[in-house]
């Protein structure tokens, strides 16, 4: 039974990340570049934490970010390095 709960949590986390990136893409056109870039950096930090806490797989997070940039080319790009898991 726990894998179902973990998968549900992972999918919920994925949906939240997708919604967050879509919302950011819509407001970036109204902000200065530096402000938009900062919001995207914060989203990337939240993504890294979610991966580190094993709430979403790194591969899925990478896929979501790639798809967001395809859907929203105006979304600033920031370098993110997703951890495989939380350091011991």
Given the structure tokens 């495989």, which residue do they identify?
Answer: 84
CA distance 36 to 39: 5
2 pLDDT more than 60:
no
pTM of the model: 0.80
31 pLDDT more than 50:
yes
Closest-CA residue to 83 (of 45, 46, 48): 48
Domain boundaries, the chain: 2-71
How do the residues of the chain divide into helix, strand and coil, expressed in percent and rounded to 5?
70, 0, 30
Mean pLDDT computed over 28-56: 90
pLDDT at 4: 46
Q: Determine contact, residues 10/64, Cβ cutoff 8 Å.
A: no
């Amino acid at each position: 039974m726990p894998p179902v709960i973990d998968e549900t949590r992972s999918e919920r986390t994925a949906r939240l990340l997708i919604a967050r990136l879509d919302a950011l893409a819509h407001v970036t056109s109204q902000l200065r570049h530096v402000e938009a870039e900062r919001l995207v950096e914060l989203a990337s930090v939240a993504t890294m934490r979610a991966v580190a806490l094993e709430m979403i797989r790194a591969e899925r997070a990478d896929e979501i970010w790639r798809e967001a940039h395809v859907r929203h080319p105006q979304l600033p790009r920031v370098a993110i390095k997703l951890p495989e898991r939380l350091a011991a």
